[in-house]
Structure 1
């Protein structure tokens, strides 16, 4: 990731913490939580690795192709799972965005994808930015209280284990969406 080192490290911490929480969600008693937690953990840890500031640890060119293969496989799994749940379409877009960023970094190592790359690359980046910005806004509204009386918009979580709380899963998705926007902006 290119940009200020402090912002990169904060993004690494945020994405790694999100990935770790998603790993814990894989032990949830709720089937819906378990179904999506693995893909979200992969996305969180992958984003953490890609967000390490380039000045500190620029991975070799072949590593970017490795990321592209891993996230390509994740995209195929998300495509397969999308027949059961529309939420997996978001996982598909996220995995494809990771493939896109990985390939862009492999093609233009140490550079920005929009500078000197093939024509049309900035268009893809822009479309992905619009998608993830809309996703972040939508996720944020789902976390906001439903009414002024203080009723939670997602189910207050009374009596649930902390790994089963839906609002925490939404907060993780929100933070990964923000992270994706930050990563796309630095391309």
Structure 2
């Protein structure tokens, strides 16, 4: 990820922590909830890997292609699972956004000579597509954040939930990954 180093590392920590909690969520709940948590764990760890500041480790082109392949596969899996629930459609959009960012980070073929006049600039994305994704994720962040407000979701009084089955923590993870996606898209 291009940009300042400290925010990049904070983004790596946030995404890795979110991915770890999603792994914990995979241990409880229904099969559908476990599949969703698994998809979110892949997204969290993948975002953490892609958010490593380029000043620390510039990923080789083959790694960026690997990200595109992994998230393309995740998008296909989420599309397959979308037949059963709307949340998986968000996973499709998120996975395709990761494919887009990986491809946008890939330098053009031809090496340094192909970038004449653009020395010091990385490959970029399509402004219109980046804008559409920014609007989508901004809306997702706002709607998810609104569901975290007191009184927005009524929990069963007296119910004891394990850490892996707390709906407000799952929403908080989704919110943090949405914010992280916004931060990553801004750098494209």
Cα distance in structure 1, aligned partners of 2:141 and 2:62: 31
Please tell me whether the aligned partners of residues 30 and 164 of structure 1 are also in contact (alpha carbons under 8 angstroms): no
Q: Against the structure 1 CA distance between its residues 156 and 182, is the aligned structure 2 distance closer, same or farther, given a 3 Å change threshold?
A: farther
Q: Deviations over 1:1-23 (max 9, x none)?
A: 11111100000000000000001
2:127 corresponds, among 122, 130, 133, to: 122
Q: Match for residue 69 of structure 1?
A: 69
SS at match of 1:111: coil
Please tell me whether the aligned partners of residues 106 and 123 of structure 2 are also in contact (alpha carbons under 8 angstroms): no
Q: Match for residue 161 of structure 1?
A: 162
Cα distance in structure 2, aligned partners of 1:73 and 1:89: 14
Displacement after TM superposition at 1:112 (Å): 4.4
SS at match of 2:3: coil
Cα distance in structure 1, aligned partners of 2:156 and 2:56: 41
Normalising to structure 1: TM-score of the pair?
0.89
Q: Match for residue 171 of structure 1?
A: 172
Cα distance in structure 1, aligned partners of 2:123 and 2:50: 14
Cα distance in structure 2, aligned partners of 1:3 and 1:160: 40
Cα distance in structure 1, aligned partners of 2:183 and 2:172: 17
1:45 corresponds to 2:45: yes
Q: Against the structure 1 CA distance between its residues 49 and 141, is the aligned structure 2 distance closer, same or farther, given a 3 Å change threshold?
A: same
Normalising to structure 2: TM-score of the pair?
0.89
Mark the runs of 5 or more structure 2 residues left unpaired by the alignment: 112-120
SS at match of 1:82: helix
Mark the runs of 5 or more structure 1 residues left unpaired by the alignment: 115-120, 147-151
1:19 corresponds to 2:19: yes
RMSD of aligned alpha carbons = 1.6
Cα distance in structure 1, aligned partners of 2:86 and 2:65: 28
Please tell me whether the aligned partners of residues 143 and 154 of structure 1 are also in contact (alpha carbons under 8 angstroms): no
Aligned length: 176
Q: Match for residue 147 of structure 2?
A: 142
